[in-house]
Structure 1
Amino acid sequence: MIKSMTGYGEGIHQDQRFSVRVEIKSVNSKNRDLKIRIPSALSSFEREISERVKASIHRGTVSVHVSFFDLGAGSSGLTINMARAARIAEFGKWAAETFASQPLTSKDILFYQGVITEQEDGDRSISEPLTEALSAALISFEDNRVREGEILQADLKSHLGVFRSDMSAIVAGMDNFTAQLRETHQERIRSMIEDVKVDESRLATEIGLYAERIDISEEIIRLGAHIDTLDEMVSSGGSIGKKMDFYLQELNREVNTSLAKLRHINAIDTLLNMKETVEKMREQACNVE
């Protein structure tokens, strides 16, 4: 299964206390680059979010945006230790009577350490809604990338088929191409030295060397091996984007070498078509994870 590097996913959780939304976006990139935007109140969860996203994504620039609203923040975020507040108030009253000082106000009492505390389960209470929203976003994100990957896979398979067809045409006509080029080269040499006595063995040697220079048998073998490897990779799927790019560069190099060597008009047209097909595959490979 091939996955696209481009994708989008969203997950939302809402209950009586929290409303949480997680949004994940990704675009093409040679490596993995993860950016997380998260409210400071949830910063303790950033590492967990990062690890879960990285487990799903191996390549691409990924942006994660988390937003939340605490619907119960006004009533349940803090607690007052009433027993401690009462003891402090009693002590303040005694101190005022004993030392003729100003009595403690309610504001003074509230600022004493331990009177007002945050609920200890604050992180735990938001953890489950955040986890559910993140899970939903990742599922949506993966589904989106898989759907696009299926389209990429079909398109790459089509291009590989076109390339094979053109390569078969080159192989089928190669003997004819090289024979015509040898004959043309021989006639050109004879026309240049028509008034000079020709050493036929020397001429045969020259034609033989020319035949070696225009022979692309080795290039065809390597092209066949590379196209088989690419076909297997596209069929098997996985994180193949970087490997595909390497083999497509090799295909392009072998086609360019063949173009430089086999200068027959019919072969040139077919080889140019092959080069164009490689470029189309390279464009698509840029989208593959």
Structure 2
Amino acid sequence: MIRSMTGYASGSGVWEPFSWSWELRAVNGKGLDLRLRVPDWIEGLEAGLRKQIGATATRGNITCNLRLAREDDSAALGVNIAQLDNLLAAMHEIERRAMDAGLSLAPSKASDILFQRGVLEQASREEDNAALARALLSDFVPVLTDFDHMRAREGAALEQLLLGRLDEIEALVAEAGEAAEERRAEMKASLRRNLALLLDNADGLDETRLTQELALIAVKTDVTEEIDRLAAHVAAARELIAQGGAVGRKLDFLMQEFNREANTLCAKAQSSGLTRIGLALKAVIDQMREQVQNVE
């Protein structure tokens, strides 16, 4: 089964005193580009998430957002001793200079000092970080599963669209083969008429050389190889789709080959019927190529 590169999933969880919400989304990309927005103070979390996502997806621009909240912020407050010592030293210097200048300052209150910037801060619980990381990585598993299921559902829909396009291309290739056979008979008769006309109206013309030139023109306008290659590309594309997995790059390369053969077919057409079929082929191939851009 093929998968789409686009997908979305979300989820939430709780591990006292923390609560969180996940958001995982992906869009098309040439390779795998992971952008994680997670707290950097939870050691091992980002590496763990990259490993989990990398085991599921091989292509796409994937963004993972984690919003983490803590319910007991007030209980986790502590005093930054180094910052407090710096502040007290500064206050002592201010008071000394004030006394030297004959000024009297009002006594400082503990609350005034406590709420100076950097003195009161949230105490870290490094001993809980490893357990928190494990809880988060475990909770992320169902989010990633939902994300992968969405990509699989979209991939199944893409597969049907691509197979439908291949049916259209195959029908047009068969039609091109029939048109080429009709054109071959018409061109053969036309070449004979032109050869007879030239020979009747040109004295001393090298008939052998002229025949060779006309044969060369016939070879240059022959589209048999293009038609055969288009049929082979259809078979190869069906095989890749049946194979499943990360075949997006190969399908994209194959679409370039489809387009090249269709362009050559149009260039060699020299008939309105074959030109019409060639243009129709180019349109269907272009539609299919846009859909292939979504395949992982």
Q: Could you tell me the TM-score, scaled by structure 1's length?
A: 0.79
- Spell out, residue by residue over 1:190-217, the C-alpha distance to the aligned partner (whole angstroms, 9 max, x if none): 6678643466544433332221111122
User: 2: distance between equivalents of 1:33 and 1:13?
Assistant: 26
Q: 1:241·1:288 contact (CA, 8 Å) conserved in 2?
A: yes
What is the DSSP-based 3-state SS (H/G/I as helix, E as strand, rest coil) of the residue aligned with 1:287? coil
| Matching residue of 1:113 | none
Instruction: Determine whether 1:23 maps to 2:23.
Output: yes
Match of 2:159 among 143, 153, 157: 153
Q: 1:186·1:207 contact (CA, 8 Å) conserved in 2?
A: no
What is the DSSP-based 3-state SS (H/G/I as helix, E as strand, rest coil) of the residue aligned with 1:8? strand
Write the letter of the residue equivalent to 1:220.
I
User: Once the 2 structures are TM-superposed, how far is the Cα of residue 179 of structure 1 from its aligned partner?
Assistant: 2.0
User: 2: distance between equivalents of 1:18 and 1:120?
Assistant: 14
Match of 1:166 among 148, 157, 172: 172
Compared CA separation, residues 118 and 248, structure 1 to 2 (3 A): closer
Write the letter of the residue equivalent to 1:241.
G
| Matching residue of 1:233 | 240
What is the DSSP-based 3-state SS (H/G/I as helix, E as strand, rest coil) of the residue aligned with 2:266? helix
| Structure 2 counterparts to residues 210-229 of structure 1, below 5 A | 210-229=217-236
User: 2: distance between equivalents of 1:167 and 1:77?
Assistant: 74
- Which segment is superposed worse, 272-281 or 182-191? 182-191
User: Once the 2 structures are TM-superposed, how far is the Cα of residue 135 of structure 1 from its aligned partner?
Assistant: 1.0
- Spell out, residue by residue over 1:216-266, the C-alpha distance to the aligned partner (whole angstroms, 9 max, x if none): 222222222221111111122110111011111011111111221221111
User: 2: distance between equivalents of 1:155 and 1:16?
Assistant: 47
Q: 1:12·1:136 contact (CA, 8 Å) conserved in 2?
A: no
User: 1: distance between equivalents of 2:40 and 2:77?
Assistant: 16
What is the DSSP-based 3-state SS (H/G/I as helix, E as strand, rest coil) of the residue aligned with 2:8? strand
User: 1: distance between equivalents of 2:38 and 2:209?
Assistant: 79
Number of residue pairs aligned between Structure 1 and Structure 2: 256
Q: 2:43·2:133 contact (CA, 8 Å) conserved in 1?
A: no
Q: How many percent identity over aligned positions? A: 29
Q: Could you tell me the TM-score, scaled by structure 2's length?
A: 0.77
Q: 1:177·1:264 contact (CA, 8 Å) conserved in 2?
A: yes
Write the letter of the residue equivalent to 2:2.
I
- Spell out, residue by residue over 1:160-204, the C-alpha distance to the aligned partner (whole angstroms, 9 max, x if none): 000000101112232211221333455456667864346654443
User: 2: distance between equivalents of 1:50 and 1:27?
Assistant: 17
Match of 1:282 among 281, 284, 289: 289
CA RMSD in angstroms, aligned pairs only: 2.8
Unaligned 5+ segments in structure 2 are: 79-109, 114-122
Q: 1:32·1:62 contact (CA, 8 Å) conserved in 2?
A: yes
User: 1: distance between equivalents of 2:12 and 2:198?
Assistant: 81
What is the DSSP-based 3-state SS (H/G/I as helix, E as strand, rest coil) of the residue aligned with 2:42? helix
| Matching residue of 2:11 | 11
Instruction: Determine whether 1:256 maps to 2:257.
Output: no
User: 2: distance between equivalents of 1:126 and 1:57?
Assistant: 25
Q: 1:185·1:207 contact (CA, 8 Å) conserved in 2?
A: yes
What is the DSSP-based 3-state SS (H/G/I as helix, E as strand, rest coil) of the residue aligned with 2:9? strand
Match of 1:141 among 120, 125, 147: 147
User: Once the 2 structures are TM-superposed, how far is the Cα of residue 32 of structure 1 from its aligned partner?
Assistant: 1.2
User: Once the 2 structures are TM-superposed, how far is the Cα of residue 143 of structure 1 from its aligned partner?
Assistant: 1.2
Match of 1:244 among 239, 246, 251: 251
Unaligned 5+ segments in structure 1 are: 79-104, 108-116
- Which segment is superposed worse, 220-229 or 146-155? 220-229
Instruction: Determine whether 1:208 maps to 2:199.
Output: no
Compared CA separation, residues 72 and 205, structure 1 to 2 (3 A): same
User: 1: distance between equivalents of 2:197 and 2:77?
Assistant: 99
User: 2: distance between equivalents of 1:178 and 1:253?
Assistant: 22
User: 1: distance between equivalents of 2:9 and 2:208?
Assistant: 73
- Spell out, residue by residue over 1:103-162, the C-alpha distance to the aligned partner (whole angstroms, 9 max, x if none): xx9x9xxxxxxxxx8555311331343123311220111111111111111100000000
Q: 1:6·1:287 contact (CA, 8 Å) conserved in 2?
A: yes
User: 1: distance between equivalents of 2:271 and 2:18?
Assistant: 72
